[in-house]
Amino acid sequence: MTGADILLTALEREGVEHIFGYPGGANLPIYQALPGHPKLKHILVRHEQGAAHMADGYARASGRAGVVFATSGPGALNLVTGLATAFMDSVPMVAITGQVASSAVGRDAFQESDVIGCTQPVTKHNYLVTDVHQIPAAVKEAFYIATTGRPGPVLIDVCKDAQQAVWEDPEWPSEVDLPGYNPAHDADLSQVEQAIAALGKAERPVILAGHGVILSGAENELQELAERTATPTGTTLLGVGAFPTNHPLSLHMTGFMGTGWNIKAVQNADLLMMVGMRVDDRVTAKLGEWAPHAKTFIHVDIDASEMGKNVRPHLEVVADAKTALTEMLKRVNGTPPPAARGAWLTQIDRWREEHPLRYTKSNGHLQPQDVMIEMYRRCQDEAIVVADVGQNQIWAALWWNYKKPGLFINSGGAGTMGFALPAAIGAKVARPDKQVWCVAGEGGFVMTAQELSVAVKHKLDIRIVILNNFNLGMVRQFQDDFYGGIRSEVDLTEMPDFVKLADAYGLPGYRVTSQDQLKAAFDKAEATKGPVLIDFRIDPEANVYPIVPLGKGLNDFWEAPDN
């Protein structure tokens, strides 16, 4: 077998079904061998960044590692943004790049780049394969590392001569031996017991759930723990979907663009249990003013390095979220929560009434919230929603209204514009049984719009919702509110006609300019086989609220103005 055949066989042995990729000079031996491996379904992308985001969306929707191919030099470097996105959001991915011949490495050969050096900061691990005999172990280890512990992307850079070399009788490792890699599995039961005891004694507890809950499939355990302990529960942006927003205990999204009642609850809680989250600056805003009344911080996370990185917890439970929550449920004694818990829940209900989500409804413009409300009405708690970055992302998150856990996919840590369309394609490939909605602003959409070709070629039923406000909306809002009102380089009025663009790519496109056109456009989208695009011309002055002014604490959050 050639190295290329060995590589592809190794992928088959790992259960890989789909690969997103782009051929080039340094990985041509792999593509030459690919037709001989019909079990591997390759999807030709239009840009390597799109391939990385597709593999990312595939992984988030399926729970399996996404796989992406690229050639050397610029091809491999075009993956970096997608790798960084997956790394920040703990998404399992295996990237396989071609590299120049091992004899030419370090000699500035044509299309050579230091892929290992460039990707080390944004991968969990990476390999430079210079010998055909290294391939089977590298592939097996890569999938093991990518999918265990805190998931993340792993890159394998394979020299061209290693792809072409022949190994007559390849050896396939049956197990992985990595002495220095010890991902957390079981929770420290003494810490679990202390955590559940502290939760039971608290008068004003709050649980905050992050992406780790979704990655571990712990949504049901989270809901059961919240119900059995009568604990209000909110989510981070990446955790949206981990807890049903219509649940009586739901605080919805936390952080500097979170709901007012969530912020109030966090700022007045006497105990915070943080599950599967990084406790980053978007959650805390001004760190020194975050949760000032909390006497106990409990942090549950699979990554020990997160403990104390931003907030020093009183109790550390280093374990997978599902494992930790399952152990906690075994120790809930079933007795009613303290009487004071009732007063706490009543107070939160009062905050929910005092600080509802609000938006302008009668200024003559189509409002983005109206679009989201109508879209979610059609999701019926089942659809996968993939959001881009900016105002569209927050509107999609805040108006998420599922009655049970569901998949809301977005670039939370890196905040990568252009993520939504390719990630939605990957999600649909992974879950053809699910409706997939893609929500994007016009600015982010055009960054990867070329991937419409992929959706059309593979006849993927993806409904693309463009919230088009003719400007870089979040940047414009920040400039208006926090930078003296000086609007600098945010005007996007010279954008393509998206209906014509859709037609050029071979999919139907519609334009909506008023609320009375909403339902008809969504009806057409739902009746369409294959991809469909709707250009919603929304209020160019629409803003995201609530929002915390930059540099301020959560207590200083702004709400939608009365007018």
Q: Report d(CA 383, CA 406) in Å as an integer.
A: 8
Would residue 382 show up in a list of annotated catalytic residues for this protein? no
Q: What angle do CA 433, 436, 441 make, to 5 degrees?
A: 170
Quote the radius of gyration of the chain (alpha carbons, Å). Answer: 24
Please name the helix (run of DSSP H) or strand (run of DSSP E) that holds residue 99, with its range, or none.
strand 93-99
Is 431 strand, coil or helix? coil
Catalytic-labelled residue, pool 12, 39, 110, 361: 110
Would residue 286 show up in a list of annotated catalytic residues for this protein? no
Would residue 474 show up in a list of annotated catalytic residues for this protein? yes
CA distances from 95 to 20, 100, 130, 272, 429 (A): 10, 16, 16, 37, 18
Given the DSSP bridges, would you call strands 250-253 and 233-235 parallel, antiparallel or unpaired? Answer: parallel
User: Minimal CA–CA distance to 54: which of 393, 542, 556, 460?
Assistant: 460
Residue 138 phi/psi, 5° resolution?
-60, -45
Would residue 536 show up in a list of annotated catalytic residues for this protein? no
Q: Give me 179's structure tokens.
A: 């002495």
User: Minimal CA–CA distance to 170: which of 4, 41, 26?
Assistant: 4
Catalytic-labelled residue, pool 14, 17, 32, 111: 111
Catalytic-labelled residue, pool 48, 112, 219, 327: 48
Beta-carbon-side half-sphere exposure of residue 293 (alpha carbons within 13 Å): 14
8 Å CB contact between 344 and 203: yes
Catalytic-labelled residue, pool 124, 140, 160, 322: 160
Strand partners, 66: 93
Give the sheet arrangement for strand 41-44, strand by strand: 41-44, 18-21, 66-70, 93-99, 153-159, 125-129
Which residues touch 33 (CB under 8 Å, ≥6 apart)?
2, 4, 5, 8
Which residues touch 63 (CB under 8 Å, ≥6 apart)?
217
Would residue 124 show up in a list of annotated catalytic residues for this protein? no
Provide the annotated active-site residues: 48, 110-111, 160, 474
